[in-house]
Structure 1
Amino acid sequence: MNLLEKSKLADFNRKLILEDGSVYPGYGFGSMADSITEIVFNTSLVGYTEIISDPSYTYQTVVMAYPLIGNYGITEEDFETEPPTIGGLVVRDYNDSPSNFRSRNTLSEIMERYHIPGIYGVDTRKLVRSIRDKGSRKVLITGIDTTLEEGLKKLKNYDLPHDAVEKVGRKILQKYYVQKAKYNVVAIDCGMKLNIVRSLNNKGCNVFMVPWNISVEEVERLKPDGIFLSNGRPYGCNAGY
C-alpha cells in the first residue's frame, strides 16, 4: 500500500503553520521531524530532483505549484549537490509508486534519508497565491496535534539561520578537468549547482571550484582565464550580494 492509499484511510497527520497564523493540513512524507524554515514556491513542471538538491534552497521549504510530484522517482546522479540541504517540500499530490527505469528510490525515501520533511494533500494553489501576494514567511512543519498557539510561539522565538553559504559551499578546492581545455575558470562556490560545472566543461573550460571565502591571492595563484561567481543563498556571501 503506497502513501496515497494510506492517507485515504486516515485523517490528516501533519500541517503547516505560517507566522501570519494560517494553517494548511496534510499528510507527511519523507522525514517526520518538525522544522522551521522560510517558505517559498517553485512553478517548474518537472525537475523536483534538481530542486530538492539545489543548494540555493538551504533553510527554505519549497511549495511546488505543479500538483503531481514523485511520479518519476529519484535518480541521485541528477543531484545538483550532495547531500541535499533543502528545508522541506510541500506538494498537492504525491506519487509514491514511480514509473522510470532510471529511478532507484522514491522521493519520500530520499527525503527521509536526508532528514527533509515533506507534506502533501495541501491546497498548494491557495498557498502559492498567499506567498506571491504576501511574500515569504517563516513556516513550521509539524504534527497535526500541535496547536496554533504552540506553533506561533515556536515561530516567534525562532531566528532563521544566516550561515547558508558557509553550510553548503565547499571547504576545499575541487578540480573538474576536460580534454583539450581552452580556458581555466575559477568558480567561487556560494551554493553552486553541478549543472553549472557541466555547462562550463561542455564549453571547453577546466573548472576550479573554490570556497566562497577564498582570498584574492589564492585565486591569482590559480592563474584563471576567467572568474565565475556562483549564485546561491544571499546570507553571508558578501562578494555576491
Structure 2
Amino acid sequence: MQAQARLLLEDGTLFTGKAFGAEGETTGEVVFNTGITGYQEVLSDPSYCGQIVTMTYPLIGNYGITRDDFESIRPFVHGFVVRRHEPTPSNWRAEYSVDDLLKEYGIVGISEIDTRMLTRRIRHHGTMKGILTTGSKPVEELLEMMGDTSIAELRNQVPMTSTQHVYNSPGTAERIVLVDYGAKTGILRELSKRNCDVVVVPHDVTADEIRRMNPDGIQLSNGPGDPKDVPHAVKMISELLGEYPIFGICLGHQLFALAAGADTEKLKFGHRGGNHPVKELESGRCFITSQNHGYTVNEESVKNTELEVTHINNNDKTIEGLKHKTFPAFSVQYHPEAAPGPYDNSYLFDRFIEMIREHKITHPQQPRQAVLAAAVKGAQ
C-alpha cells in the first residue's frame, strides 16, 4: 500500500495524498508551474531552489527521466506536488522514473491531491510557505514549525546553486564570461551553438577578476531568490556597465536593473510556465515565452534611470525586457533558451553576439604590444 503524504500551507489549508519519491519532511515556498511538458527541466532548474513546485498539468511522469534533459547537475526543488504520478514511464528515451529521481536526491513528492484547488488558492492569496511531509506529526506541531521558519531565511539560494569554480567551455568565436547565479544548462548550450568561448564563473566574481579574463561580453544567468540578496553582483555589474556588452536573463535581468538604478519587487504568485505572452514594444510582435520568476522590475523606478523598457508581459503588463540607452547592455525577464518551452526567443543570443561585434568596431582595443609598452614605460 502506498504511504500517505500531507501538504500543509501556512494559512492552515491541509492536503492529504499519496507519497512518492523520498520519505521525510521539507519546508519551502509553494508555487505552481503551468507547463504541460518539461517536468524534468523544471525539477532540474536551479531557480526553483527553496520551492515546493506544483505542476498544474494533471499527469506527471508518463515519459520518465532521461540523461539529456537535465538543466543542472541535480534537482534543487524542495518538494514536488502533482495530481497524478505515473510510476511506469512509456518512452523509448526514458532511463528511469520521476520516483527514482526524487528518491536519489531526497526530495519528497505528493500525488492524488486537488492541484487545481491548490493553484487557485495560491493565485488568490499569493505564494505562501508550506510543509510537505510523509511523517505523522500533528497539524498543530507542523504549523508551529512553519512559524519558526521564514522564506526570508532562504537567503543563500544563489551560493547553493552557483558553481564554486571557474571552468571553460571552449570555442573559437567570442569569449563570453557567463556569471552563474544558478544557470541553466540551456544558456551554455545556446552560447556554445554559436561557437562562443564560454568561461563560467561563480556568483561572487569581482569586476577585476572578469577584466583579467579579457572577455568580449558578459552573460548574466538566471537564478533563484530575491535579487537584493546578491548585492555583490549588483556592485560588479555597475562597475562593468559600459565597459563590456552585457546580456541578462531572469535573475540576471533583475540584477542589471538594480545596477542601473531601478528597483525590484515581489510578484503575488510569479510567472512559471512555458506559455507566457510577451510583447516586444518596438515591433509590436507577441512572443510566447518560458518563464520562472517570483520578482519583477518596478515600472515606476525605471523612469529616473538610463533604462528603456523593451518588452512587457501581455497578461499583467509587468516589465519583461530592458535595454540601456547609452551602453551596450540589455536583458529579458523570460528564458530565451527555453528548456522547457518554445524556442522562439533564441534570436536574442544572436542579438547579443551582434552587439559584441558592433562594440568591437566602435570601441577598438589597443594592440596588446602597445598596452605592454605603456605599462613598462609607466613603471620606469
Q: TM-score, normalised by structure 2?
A: 0.59
* Equivalent of residue 193 in structure 1, options 180, 184, 206: 184
Aligned to 2:300: none
Letter of the 1:102 partner, please give it.
R
Distance of 1:142 and 1:231 partners within structure 2:
29
Aligned to 2:122: 131
Tell me how far 1:47 sits from its aligned partner.
0.5
Tell me how far 1:102 sits from its aligned partner.
1.5
Tell me how far 1:234 sits from its aligned partner.
2.9
Distance of 1:203 and 1:131 partners within structure 2:
40
CA RMSD of aligned residues (A): 1.4
Q: Do the aligned partners of 1:184 and 1:207 also contact (CA within 8 Å) in 2? A: yes
Distance of 1:87 and 1:78 partners within structure 2:
20
The reply to whether residue 233 of structure 1 matches residue 224 of structure 2 is yes
* Equivalent of residue 77 in structure 1, options 65, 68, 80: 68
Aligned to 1:158: 149
Tell me how far 1:158 sits from its aligned partner.
1.4
Q: Do the aligned partners of 2:182 and 2:221 also contact (CA within 8 Å) in 1? A: yes
Distance of 2:134 and 2:145 partners within structure 1:
13
Tell me how far 1:205 sits from its aligned partner.
1.3
More helix by share: 2
Aligned to 1:3: none
Aligned to 2:214: 223
* Equivalent of residue 175 in structure 1, options 135, 158, 168: 168
Tell me how far 1:237 sits from its aligned partner.
2.2
* Partner secondary structure for residue 138 of structure 1: strand
Q: Do the aligned partners of 1:69 and 1:91 also contact (CA within 8 Å) in 2? A: yes
Aligned to 1:115: 106
Letter of the 2:165 partner, please give it.
I
* Equivalent of residue 36 in structure 1, options 27, 33, 53: 27
Distance of 1:87 and 1:110 partners within structure 2:
13
Number of equivalenced pairs = 230
Letter of the 1:176 partner, please give it.
S
Aligned to 1:211: 202
* Partner secondary structure for residue 172 of structure 1: coil
Tell me how far 1:225 sits from its aligned partner.
0.8
Give the number of the structure with larger relative contact order, counting CA–CA contacts within 8 Å between residues 6 or more apart.
Answer: 1
* Equivalent of residue 58 in structure 2, options 26, 47, 67: 67
Distance of 1:54 and 1:118 partners within structure 2:
17
The structure with the larger Rg is 2
* Equivalent of residue 88 in structure 1, options 73, 79, 86: 79
Gaps of 5+ in 2: 234-254, 259-380
Tell me how far 1:144 sits from its aligned partner.
6.3
Query: In the TM superposition, what whole-angstrom CA distance separates every residue of 1:9-32 from its partner, at most 9, and x where no partner exists?
Result: xxx711100000000111111111
Letter of the 1:84 partner, please give it.
P
Aligned to 1:51: 42
Q: Do the aligned partners of 1:39 and 1:136 also contact (CA within 8 Å) in 2? A: yes
Q: Do the aligned partners of 1:190 and 1:237 also contact (CA within 8 Å) in 2? A: no
Letter of the 1:32 partner, please give it.
E
Q: Report percent identity of matched pairs.
A: 37
Query: In the TM superposition, what whole-angstrom CA distance separates every residue of 1:119-173 from its partner, at most 9, and x where no partner exists?
Result: 0001000001111111111100113633221111110011332100001100111
The reply to whether residue 99 of structure 1 matches residue 90 of structure 2 is yes
Letter of the 2:150 partner, please give it.
D
Distance of 1:137 and 1:175 partners within structure 2:
39
Q: Do the aligned partners of 2:25 and 2:135 also contact (CA within 8 Å) in 1? A: no
Distance of 1:116 and 1:20 partners within structure 2:
23
